[in-house]
Amino acid sequence: MPPEELTPDVRFLAHDSLREGQIDMINDGLKVISAGGFLLANAPTGIGKTAAALASALTVARSRTGARVLFLTGRQSQHRIVVDTVRKINDRIDDKGRDVTLVDIIGRESMCKDVDRKTGKCSCEQGIAESERSNRRFGLINEIMSEPKHVEYSIEFAEKRRICAWAAAREAASDADILVCDYNHMFLESVRKASLSSMGIELENVIVVVDEAHNLPNRILRSLNRHLTYRMLGSGIDQLREYCDEMEKKGKTGFVEGGSIDVGRDCETALQAFRKKFSVWTKKMRGSSTDSKDIGKKIEEKVGAGEILAMLRQELAKEDLELDTLINQLKSVDQGELDQEDEDEDEELDVHRVGSFLSILHKYELDSALCVVFNSQGNDHRITTHLLDPGIVSAEIFDKIIGGVLMSGTLTPPEMYAETLGIRPGKCAFHSYPSPFLEDRRPVMIAADVTSKFTARGPENTKRIQNHIKAVLQSTPGHVAIFCQSYKMLEEIVGGEYWPGRRTYIEDRTWSKRIVDTRLNDLYNARDGGIKVVLAGVFGGRLSEGVDYSGNILDAVICVGIPIAPQSVSQEALRDYIETKHGRGKGWKYGCIQPAVNSVLQGMGRAIRKVEDRAFILLLDNRLLSGQYRWCLPSTLTPSTANDAKRTGRRVKAFFERHPEPARGE
């Protein structure tokens, strides 16, 4: 489409020609951000949403003194796409000689070769004189700002010159147009306070682009999930006592905000008494929920935050202490003063965990958005916090910043995410953009004869699922990805069967980013060697989100089941909360069905990364054909139906006869 259709003010374009829907997204973003609002964009893969979001965000940022763009993404693999896009923007713009500057940053432990968790310091610049350190760091900052660099380049540059890449990146960020970083830099309070202010970034001057925004609500909720056990309390008390002992020996006060060794001892006494009460309380809770004949049964029960804190406050009152004082004392314990075993060096201190748990209970004690659950199985008793409303955290942030774009290929429906994240209605615009892919190049088929519904499972259903998979494998010339709703189903469906003519890689919970990268390289090497691979994982796992399967490396994707969250006390509380806050009927949809269907959509999208790509998509769950599940699918999706594996095989064969070769371009 011709650039003449763009709003005239837009200058930061990455491409000479723009794709279908991309112009609309740029214009929509510019209009909404300029008015201090947020564009929630349901933008499919291939539309060029990264380039579109940056074009509108940068145009507004350059028009306002001090404004900068924070590009937030939950996966490191997405950082490179942003860096490459900004390089293309700089190749095309003539903004009075000013290129767009960018800083790409990840966690310190990933950027520094050796980080001491006891002191929070790295050894990158150890033994270097201050003047020389400043010169070297200045050199790295100039290198970062000279043109957009991926974080890996900065790390390699820094290692060769013995300088700290993390510290240099933070200094450079204060003058950069764009900071590429994780969600936590904005939405996790402890990280935000420690990072943004030190980089000279104020929320009031931020325009945000949230990539894969469908993940943001759960990331916020998980950040406030904490648990407390009898053992953790004991370990935390021991660490508090040891810290007080060390500070006493050195004649130091040891604590912040007016704390003292005496107050620390009083906190220890109160926690010891609380721990005894906690033990009695957990045994009582266990006894009221089961009987002695079924001691191994797993139970869970909702409890009140006030019930836990009341026991603690009784003991604090005896020592003339306030809860805030206790929390501050626990969080102020310096790990560097404790004699921890080597194997514990990389773990968060239990004394800090206890402090964080109590802090959450205290902050949300009277808020219905917090659900506290007692869990017990055998001798393991714990209480866990579950935040039910990410808007409790994000609404205030969205109110402060200038505006932005929240985008994803599965931001469906966008209105749900605006409500969930607490973005005020008057500040939102919702748009779904058309897919640039012809249906002929990405047909979607749903099998009508199989399901993952628990009551309908069994050997016959499993065999039918496996027959559909075999039908796809028999006629697919290249690699096939399979995503299942759980690891148990993955093992049953894929691990429990032989797949002739295929090398098989099956994900498990222990897979790291390094293993995923290795398996991804294996796919390209296998294709070059004429070997066909089955790559199997789970929805929401390492393989199904955040991995860039470029070069049309996947010929087909098979999605097995719908990853409905298992029934639990916290899930029931979440649905009730949503129903009360957002309206009747939304509890089940927002809290359960829509997130599950969106996970399936994410899996489907792994095979198609560019307009030229082609792939066959098979969904193995007949619930997607009708009712509330079908309503959660995008209205633009028009799947066909297979009543048996033979029809699946015929459709797959016909598809690859029309499109035998993958689009190998990067």
Domain-located, residue 49:
yes
Looking at 387, 418, 451, the residue that finishes a domain is 387
User: What's at 319, amino acid-wise?
Assistant: E
Read off the tokens for 195.
């990072």
Per-residue pLDDT at 216? 95
DSSP 415-476: HHHHHHHT--GGGEEEEE---SS-GGGS-EEEESS----GGG-SHHHHHHHHHHHHHHHHH-
Q: Are residues 280 and 144 in the same domain?
A: no
Q: Are residues 189 and 114 in the same domain?
A: no
Q: Give the single-character DSSP code of 198.
A: G
State the Cα angle at 599 between 594 and 604, rounded to 5°. Answer: 120
Contact 465, 519 (CB under 8 A): no
Other Cβ atoms closer than 10 A to 310: 11
DSSP 551-617: TT-EEEEEEES--PPPP-HHHHHHHHHHHHHH-TTHHHIIIIIHHHHHHHHHHHTTS--STT---EE
Q: Distances in Å between the alpha carbon of 78 and those of 74, 81, 180, 207?
A: 8, 5, 10, 19
- The whole-angstrom separation of Cα 268 and Cα 271 is 5
User: What's at 227, amino acid-wise?
Assistant: H
Lowest-confidence segment of 95-104, 597-606, 621-630 by average pLDDT: 95-104
Residue 576 sits in a domain whose CATH number is: 3.40.50.300
Q: How many domains does the chain have?
A: 4
Per-residue pLDDT at 128? 87
Per-residue pLDDT at 154? 93
Q: Are residues 87 and 165 in the same domain?
A: no
Q: Are residues 566 and 607 in the same domain?
A: yes
- The whole-angstrom separation of Cα 490 and Cα 469 is 13
Read off the tokens for 253.
């006060």
Domain-located, residue 526:
yes
Q: Are residues 359 and 460 in the same domain?
A: no
Q: Are residues 421 and 542 in the same domain?
A: no
Q: How many residues make up the chain in this entry?
A: 666
Per-residue pLDDT at 377? 83
Domain-located, residue 397:
no
pLDDT digits (tens, 9 = 90+) for 143-177: 999 999 999 999 999 998 899 999 999 999 999 99
Looking at 158, 174, 190, the residue that finishes a domain is 174
Q: Are residues 380 and 409 in the same domain?
A: no
Tell me the average pLDDT across 4-12: 82
Per-residue pLDDT at 341? 46
Its domain, for residue 367, covers 226-387
Read off the tokens for 285.
């809770």
Domain-located, residue 663:
no
For the cut 50, the answer to whether the pLDDT of residue 444 exceeds it is yes
Q: Are residues 191 and 252 in the same domain?
A: no
Report percent pLDDT > 70 for the chain: 93
Cβ-proximal residues to 208 (8 Å cutoff; 6+ apart), any chain? 69, 70, 71, 72, 186, 401, 403, 404, 405, 406
Contact 533, 522 (CB under 8 A): yes
| Residue 637 pLDDT class (50, 70, 90 cuts) | confident
H-run or E-run covering 218: helix 216-223
Other Cβ atoms closer than 10 A to 86: 28
The crossing angle, in degrees rounded to 10, of helices 391-400 and 414-421 is: 90
Domain-located, residue 275:
yes
Domain-located, residue 27:
yes
Q: Are residues 11 and 142 in the same domain?
A: no
Bridge pairing between strands 121-122 and 115-116: antiparallel
Report percent pLDDT > 90 for the chain: 70
For the cut 90, the answer to whether the pLDDT of residue 434 exceeds it is no
Per-residue pLDDT at 3? 45
What's the predicted TM-score (pTM) here? Answer: 0.89
Name beta bridge partners: 620. 560
pLDDT digits (tens, 9 = 90+) for 17-55: 888 789 999 999 999 999 999 999 999 877 889 999 999
Domain-located, residue 665:
no
Tell me the average pLDDT across 329-345: 65
Tell me the average pLDDT across 215-235: 94
- The whole-angstrom separation of Cα 569 and Cα 216 is 22
Q: Are residues 161 and 189 in the same domain?
A: no
Read off the tokens for 492.
């049953």
Domain-located, residue 395:
no
Per-residue pLDDT at 342? 38
| Residue 297 pLDDT class (50, 70, 90 cuts) | confident
- The whole-angstrom separation of Cα 71 and Cα 93 is 20
Per-residue pLDDT at 11? 85
- The whole-angstrom separation of Cα 346 and Cα 339 is 13
Q: Are residues 347 and 252 in the same domain?
A: yes
Read off the tokens for 139.
């050199």
- Residue closest to 77 by CA, chosen among 100, 50, 54: 50
Tell me the average pLDDT across 270-293: 83
Looking at 174, 189, 207, the residue that finishes a domain is 174
- The whole-angstrom separation of Cα 314 and Cα 309 is 9
- Residue closest to 539 by CA, chosen among 514, 522, 553, 558: 558
Contact 619, 445 (CB under 8 A): yes
Per-residue pLDDT at 608? 84
User: What's at 494, amino acid-wise?
Assistant: V
Q: Are residues 486 and 584 in the same domain?
A: yes
Instruction: Please state, rounded to an integer, the average pLDDT across all residues of the chain.
Output: 90
